[in-house]
């Protein structure tokens, strides 16, 4: 016998003597190792109540109940450092000396039966908790994936917005460079759509428009682009209301839609 077993038996023997000194005859049994004791006390309390016993508990560590009021038989389950201890007792004033051992065995058997039911209950509780934890983890992974996708979508929208703004700003600047006259001279007057150096254009929803002057280009996409530059793709609808693209001063050229 190992030193650990000797120490355990001595502790149980001392406990039995201490309980016996308080009245009645007691027996104690280590019925579950510490590694198997998780959730057992609460489960024992539940199955005992389901069987109709009135239980008393203390801080999730002790369950006490009266097994047989006629014989004064009781049992208690307590969580100890080394596991779960089952203590059974009988009232020696109500039980004949010749029947004491049989009564203790009867209470012990009932206690072990409750323990077996409690193991099933504790396993089910653990299974449900594990399932709930997995569901919560899956939900958290889904939320993280959604957040990542939304972030990627915002990045893509921002890239498209920057490309849109850069493209139209470049067209606008090029058109102004070709058509704005020097400060000391007057610009020639041209009718929209006629020849000359003007070749400004804009694109609205993939439709190409040839514009006669910078002002028409600005009305087409300039105001809308400036509106978007202040808030990005999050306010497209607002900008469409306040500063919508206006290609009315330009000429539609469907043959050049591919340039948009």
Domains delineated in the chain: 3-129 (3.30.310.50), 153-178+197-259 (no CATH)
Which residue has better confidence, 34 or 199? 34
Distance between CA 44 and CA 122 in Å, rounded? Answer: 9
**Residue 182 carries which DSSP code?**
P
Q: Mean pLDDT, to the nearest integer, of 4-20?
A: 44
pTM of the model: 0.48
**pLDDT given at position 227:** 84
Compute, in degrees rounded to 10, the torsion defined by CA atoms 48, 52, 55, 60.
Answer: 30
Question: What stretch of H or E contains 57?
Answer: strand 55-58
Which of 1-5, 60-64, 76-80 is predicted least confidently? 1-5
- How would residue 5 be classed by pLDDT, with cut points 50, 70 and 90? low
- How would residue 188 be classed by pLDDT, with cut points 50, 70 and 90? very low
Q: Is 12 exposed, middle or buried (0-12, 13-18, 19+ CB in 10 A)?
A: middle
Q: Cα angle vertex 75, ends 12, 109, to 5°?
A: 90
Joined together, the tokens standing for residue 83 give 């596991």
Residues in Cβ contact with 72 at an 8 Å cutoff, skipping those fewer than 6 apart: 24, 90, 91, 93, 94, 95
**pLDDT given at position 41:** 93
Residues in Cβ contact with 121 at an 8 Å cutoff, skipping those fewer than 6 apart: 43, 46, 47
Which residue has better confidence, 47 or 21? 47
**pLDDT given at position 233:** 64
Say whether pLDDT at 192 is over 70: no
Residues in Cβ contact with 112 at an 8 Å cutoff, skipping those fewer than 6 apart: 31, 86
Distance between CA 250 and CA 190 in Å, rounded? Answer: 14
92: closest CA among 80, 108, 74?
74
What phi and psi values does residue 170 have, to the nearest 5 degrees? -65, -40
Of these ranges, 36-40, 84-88, 144-148, the one predicted with the greatest mean pLDDT is 84-88
Cβ-contact 19, 26 below 8 angstroms: yes
Say whether pLDDT at 216 is over 70: yes
Average pLDDT, the chain: 80
Alpha helices by DSSP H, listed for 98-235, are 100-179, 214-217, 223-231
């Amino acid at each position: 016998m190992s030193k650990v077993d000797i120490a355990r038996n001595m502790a149980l023997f001392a406990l039995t003597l201490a309980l016996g000194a308080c009245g009645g005859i007691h027996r104690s049994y280590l019925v579950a190792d510490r590694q198997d004791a998780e959730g057992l006390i609460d489960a024992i309390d539940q199955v005992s109540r389901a069987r109709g016993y009135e239980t008393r508990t203390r801080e999730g560590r002790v369950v006490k109940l009266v097994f047989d009021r006629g014989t004064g038989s009781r049992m208690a389950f307590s969580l100890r450092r080394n596991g779960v201890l089952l203590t059974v007792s009988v009232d020696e004033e109500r039980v004949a000396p010749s029947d004491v051992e049989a009564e203790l065995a009867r209470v012990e058997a009932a206690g072990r039966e409750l323990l077996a039911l409690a193991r099933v209950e504790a396993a089910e509780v653990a299974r449900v908790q594990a399932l709930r934890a997995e569901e919560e983890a899956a939900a958290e992974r889904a939320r993280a994936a959604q957040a990542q996708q939304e972030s990627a979508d915002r990045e893509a929208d921002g890239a498209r917005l920057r490309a849109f703004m850069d493209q139209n700003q470049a067209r606008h600047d090029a058109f102004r460079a070709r058509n704005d006259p020097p400060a000391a001279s007057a610009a020639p007057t041209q009718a929209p759509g006629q020849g000359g150096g003007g070749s400004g254009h804009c694109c609205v929803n993939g439709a190409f428009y040839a514009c006669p002057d910078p002002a028409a280009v600005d009305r087409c996409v300039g105001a809308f682009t400036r509106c978007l530059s202040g808030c990005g793709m999050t306010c497209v609808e607002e900008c469409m209301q306040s500063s919508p693209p206006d290609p009315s001063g330009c000429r539609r050229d469907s043959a050049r839609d591919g340039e948009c």
